[in-house]
Amino acid sequence: MSPNIADLLNVIFLTFLVVVAIAVSYVKDLIYAAILLGAYSVAIALIWLLMSAPDLAITEAAAGIGMTTLMIAVISKIGRKVE
């Protein structure tokens, strides 16, 4: 039995998700953390799309990629580095 393309994409995106989620906690600069969180949202939006939930994918793309990244970017301008 051969794996179909959706399963393969699922594995790729989930691996990317875990890698990015771990990377967020290791980055010192908050603006990089915000951008990595945007990448996390891209991956999870694509996963929603694969699971045939385009409604959630649109919401995730708008709220996760746009709003959260902008909000954290604005907050992180106040104090950029965390010790």
Partner 1 sequence: MRDFVLKRMVALVLPFVTMLGLYVIFHGHLSPGGSFSGGIITGLSIIAFNLVFGTERGEEKISERLMALIESFGALWYGAMGLVGILRGASFLMNKGAGVPVGQPGSLYSGGLILLITLGVGLKVASTMVTLFLELMEEED
Residues that bind partner 1 (CB under 8 A): 54-55, 57-59, 61-63, 66-67, 70-71, 74-75, 77-78
Shorter beta-carbon distance to partner 1: residue 24 or 61? 61
Shorter beta-carbon distance to partner 1: residue 36 or 64? 64
Tell me the H-state helices in 1-83: 5-26, 30-50, 54-59, 69-76
Rounded-to-integer distance, Cα 43 and Cα 77, Å: 25
Contact 60, 41 (CB under 8 A): yes
Instruction: Count CB atoms within 10 A of the CB of residue 24.
Output: 15
Shorter beta-carbon distance to partner 1: residue 23 or 31? 31
Q: What is the closest distance, in whole angstroms, from the C-beta atom of residue 22 to partner 1 in the complex? A: 27
Q: What is the closest distance, in whole angstroms, from the C-beta atom of residue 67 to partner 1 in the complex? A: 6
